[in-house]
């Protein structure tokens, strides 16, 4: 399958699986916008050279947020895509504080491709929480999220300088909005 068709198939699959879901940090924005942003960040940072990575960007939350299984992703896409999605998937049975702790602890041991997905995901999530005139609650949420995201990304850096710079620029902008 040509790379553009592979990525397009992943986008359609992700959109269908996340139908009706919205983003917490951006009101009623369709959740698929987050998936598109993560995939686009990955495509931009890598020059579009890795269709499986970009597809995994589209699909990175499907196991965590939908009834999709790793086996299904392997059948529909590839073992690598399924493995990458599984590698960045949190165990939703755990409390949020433990999931966050594990992301910080486990990030240095992730594969280089999973680290790229983690950074792109954090960029998107920080952007979603950054407001030009934040309320006090939004300030607290943004500060908490950025502090934690920086700890996760610290274990993911060093693969693509452009992606590291994008994260740093995003955090700088977020902090300036406070």
Active site (annotated) includes residue 64: yes
Closest CA to 76 of 141, 135, 139, 17: 17
Report the alpha-carbon angle 130-134-140, nearest 5: 80
Helix, strand or coil, per DSSP, at residue 22: strand
DSSP letter assigned to residue 1: -
Among candidate residues 65, 76, 141, 168, the one labeled active-site is: 65
Q: Which of 29, 37, 50, 64 is catalytic?
A: 64
Separation of alpha carbons 65 and 89, rounded Å: 9
CA distance 116 to 123: 11
The verdict on whether 65 is a catalytic residue reads yes
C-alpha angle with apex 137: 131 to 142, nearest 5 degrees?
50
- Catalytic (active-site) positions: 64-65
């Amino acid at each position: 399958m040509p790379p553009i068709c592979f990525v397009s198939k992943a986008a359609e699959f992700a959109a269908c699986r996340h139908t009706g879901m919205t983003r917490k940090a951006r009101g009623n924005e369709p959740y698929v916008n987050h998936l598109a942003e993560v995939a686009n960040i990955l495509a931009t940072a890598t020059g579009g050279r890795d269709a499986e990575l970009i597809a995994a960007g589209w699909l990175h939350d499907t196991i965590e947020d939908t009834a999709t299984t790793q086996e299904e992703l392997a059948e529909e896409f590839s073992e690598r895509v399924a493995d990458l999605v599984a590698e960045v998937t949190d165990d939703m049975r755990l409390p949020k504080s433990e999931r966050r702790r594990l992301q910080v602890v486990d990030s240095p041991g992730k594969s280089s491709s999973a680290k790229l997905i983690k950074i792109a995901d954090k960029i998107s999530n920080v952007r979603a929480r950054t407001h030009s005139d934040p309320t006090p609650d939004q300030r607290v949420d943004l500060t908490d999220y950025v502090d934690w995201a920086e700890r996760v990304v610290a274990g993911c850096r060093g693969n693509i300088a452009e992606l590291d710079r994008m994260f740093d620029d995003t955090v700088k902008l977020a902090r300036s909005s406070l």
